[in-house]
Amino acid sequence: MPEAISLSIVIGWFLFFLLIGQHVATVLFGAGIVGVLLWVGPPVLNGIVGQDVFFTVSNYSLSIIPLYLLMAQLLMRGGLVLDLFRVGHRLAGYRRFPLGVATLIIGGLLGAVSGSGAASAASLATLAGPELERVGYSRRFSLGLAAVAGSLSAVIPPSLIVIIYGSITSVPIGKLFIGLLGPGVLCMIVYIVCLAIFAEDGDMPEPEKAAADEDERGAVAASVFLIGLLVVVFGGIYGGIITVGEAGAIGAFTAMVGLFAMRRIGLRELAHSLADSAKISAMLLLLVIGAQIFARFLAFSRVPRELLALAEPFIDQPGLLIAALMVVLFLAGMILESAAVILLIVPIVLPILEAAGVDLLWFGVLASLMIALGLLTPPVGLSAYAAAAAQGYSVAEIFRPATKFALVAAIVVVGATILFPGIVTFLPSHLD
């Protein structure tokens, strides 16, 4: 069969099943298998599938994912996120602007705990949405702010997408985590400024404060434990005391012991946390396996080589190359899951980046920023959809304020990261 026809069949397969709603992992795996069969025939299929699956899932970098997911699930089921929310809002004094700022900061910390933009946005929409309405923000803006805060999970370590990126590119994950800190903090500051500029008024604030917490001291203690845990985990990584994998193990173990000691979880919650961590890990690994099989087809088809030849005029102009790739990542982040974007695009463009001499650490952080912005914009901004679903509200309305935040962040944060690479590279350069 002519190569052009085979390639058209694979692309058609991929687009058709993606458009009818099949999971991205299934689409990648199916398209990869079909492509290998059409390109080189059945004899090589058994060896490719078996070896690729084994070596992909046995990658040490990917073993970090279940550890951080277990830590996140334990902290979520122990109610520490709710306590952190209560304490943050109490410190804000239930005033309008400080309450919005507290929601963004808590969203960043929640992103560090959960690693999922959609989960963070849904939690904040449920917890913070009503309180933000109480102090005078419109419902649309309140839920939009929850979506914005939730999207910070992509740029606040431990971001799952940078773990996957690191496993693909062999960039040290610890350095990626530390490299995220500068842009993550800058992004949060930009969002706080946007909060002051784009705020939308709702009903008049109620004169009374929210009901007092039943156990404020317990909430404060739990919040201190959570922040201390994050400081130990990431301080240990930055200080070179522990590796990223050891930090995940220490974080999960400390969370389990601490929550048992505070009587926040029991054996049932531990079992649920283990099960949920296994389910999410399996979902991510299936994505990785599907992407690896699809990448194998691309290698046989020589598509990356053809793309490298086409991109040769841009190799001497890395600025134009990066700009084009950022647009591609942003558009892909609008319609695909963040992990799927990394797994689908990075293996294809990696030879081009290496030929152009692009710093892969810097590019990985920049890619995470673009994907985070894609979580807020239509047509498939997952953080916006999660916030809307949590409160049964129209997602089209939430997109309006969320897109404003995303556009400003794209101009300021991404622009600053491109013009001043030291925002990303300064801290990792002191990690050795």
- Averaged pLDDT, 128-142: 84
Q: Taking residues 326-351, what's their average pLDDT?
A: 79
End-to-end CA distance of the chain: 52
The answer to whether residues 11 and 275 touch, using CB atoms and an 8 Å cutoff, is no
The pLDDT score that the predictor gives to residue 212 is 46
The size of the chain, in residues, is 432
Cis status of the peptide bond prior to 379, with omega within 30 of 0? yes
Residue 193 pLDDT more than 90? Answer: yes
The answer to the question of residue 35 being in a domain is no
Quote the percentage of the chain above a pLDDT of 90: 7
The average pLDDT across 320-337 equals: 79
Please list, in sequence order, all residues whose beta carbon lies within 8 angstroms of the beta carbon of residue 13, skipping any fewer than 6 positions away: 30, 31, 34
How many Å apart are CA 340 and CA 118, to the nearest integer?
15
Residue 18 lies in a domain: no
Is a pLDDT exceeding 90 seen at residue 362? yes
User: Given this model, what pLDDT does residue 190 score?
Assistant: 92
pLDDT tens per residue across span 21-37: 777 788 888 888 888 88
User: Mean pLDDT across the stretch 206-224?
Assistant: 61
112 versus 307: the higher-pLDDT residue is 307
Burial class (CB in 10 A: 0-12, 13-18, 19+), 397: middle
Q: According to the 3-state scheme, what is the secondary structure of 245-284?
A: HHHHHHHHHHHHHHHHHCCCCCHHHHHHHHHHHHHHHHHH
CB contact burial 3-12 (16+ within 10 A = b; e otherwise): eeebbeebee
Tens of pLDDT, residue by residue over 33-53, are: 888 888 877 776 666 666 767
125 in Cβ contact with 390 (< 8 Å): yes
Mean pLDDT across the chain, nearest whole number? 80
Angle subtended at Cα 146 by Cα 365 and Cα 181, rounded to the nearest 5 degrees: 25
pTM of the model: 0.78
Mean pLDDT computed over 409-414:
89
User: Does the structure show a pLDDT above 60 at 276?
Assistant: yes
In a domain, 408, yes or no: yes
Residue span of the structural domain in which 224 resides: 61-282+303-429
The answer to whether the CB of 114 falls within 8 A of the CB of 76 is yes
What is the DSSP track for 382-430? HHHHHHHHHHT--HHHHHHHHHHHHHHHIIIIIHHHHH-THHHHHHHHT
Q: Is residue 3, in this structure, part of any structural domain at all? A: no
* Within-domain flag for 290: no
Query: Prior bond to 428 cis, omega within 30?
Result: no
pLDDT at 97 over 80: yes
Confidence class of residue 271 from pLDDT cuts 50, 70 and 90? very high
Domain membership flag for residue 1: no
Q: Given a cut of 60, is residue 211 above it in pLDDT?
A: no
In the predicted model, is pLDDT for residue 173 greater than 90?
no
d(CA 145, CA 387): 9
Q: 137 - beta bridge partners? A: 201
Say yes or no to pLDDT of 240 above 50: yes
Q: Is residue 171 part of a domain?
A: yes
Number of domain units in the chain:
1
Instruction: Let me know if residue 379 belongs to a domain.
Output: yes
**In Å, how far are 17, 195, 377, 386 from 20, measured between CA atoms?**
5, 37, 21, 21
**Residue-level pLDDT at 113:** 59
pLDDT at 127: 76
- In which band, very low, low, confident or very high, does the pLDDT at 360 lie, cut at 50, 70 and 90? very high
* Residue 168 pLDDT > 50: yes
Say whether 357 sits in a helix, a strand or coil: coil
**Max CA pair span of the chain:** 74
CB 126 within 8 A of CB 391: yes
